[in-house]
Structure 1
């Protein structure tokens, strides 16, 4: 969903104005997905005895997505686009860690 945000934004900037609505809706679903990931991180910690930092990472990512939504609605594109790239990179790093963690 986060990668799709970049694709949808690119489509919008290329003139496909319907993509903006899908971009907005997808942002909501991305935020919900990150909250579900936070629940999974809590379950990994208790009772799974996993590390605690993925909980904070997911909550931090959720906060960044919230900020991203605010920046998008305020049309602060000079901050919105780089933050979107950072969110995608952070989420990718978290996903790679999750799939490699034993």
Structure 2
């Protein structure tokens, strides 16, 4: 090889497909999460059928949270994404499972504040996943 030819470094592995998957999943999750207080509010204004939709979407969110864990695992392991994402998704799954239980048992003193915390977490995660920080590989600054 010629010593005058510059060597190019191999491109660093970074989350691409896994990041787009996580973006899609977290944005869809955010839409479902934001629908929950709207449906609860509609129920409180007299739309009894809104509670059925609230319960159905809430129950389906446990499935969505499991898929989010798989997406986060792919992002962390396959895409060399941020490590903190995986435990946060597991905590979100556990919080949503507890939230479902508190809702069906009518424990509103726990259901409402936990719902607010889940909404805040979903908004922050969905906002973060669209930042340039989410696209950088682990260890890069």
Question: Is 1:38 aligned to 2:69, yes or no?
Answer: yes
What are the within-5 Å matches in structure 2 for residues 1-102 of structure 1? 1-100=32-131, 101-102=134-135
| CA distance in 2 between partners of 1:94 and 1:35 (Å) | 16
The CA deviation at 1:7 is: 0.5
The CA deviation at 1:46 is: 1.4
Q: Which protein has greater RCO, CA pairs closer than 8 Å, 6+ apart?
A: 2
TM-score, normalised to structure 2's length? 0.69
The CA deviation at 1:52 is: 1.7
Farther-moved stretch of structure 1 (76-85 vs 27-36): 27-36
1:17-68: per-residue Cα shift (whole Å, max 9, x none)? 1111111100122221122111111111112111221111111001011111
Rg comparison, structure with higher value: 2
Structure 1 runs not aligned, ≥5 long = none
Q: Alpha carbon RMSD of aligned pairs, Å? A: 1.0
Number of equivalences: 102
Runs of 4+ in 1 over 4 A off after TM superposition: none
The CA deviation at 1:97 is: 1.3
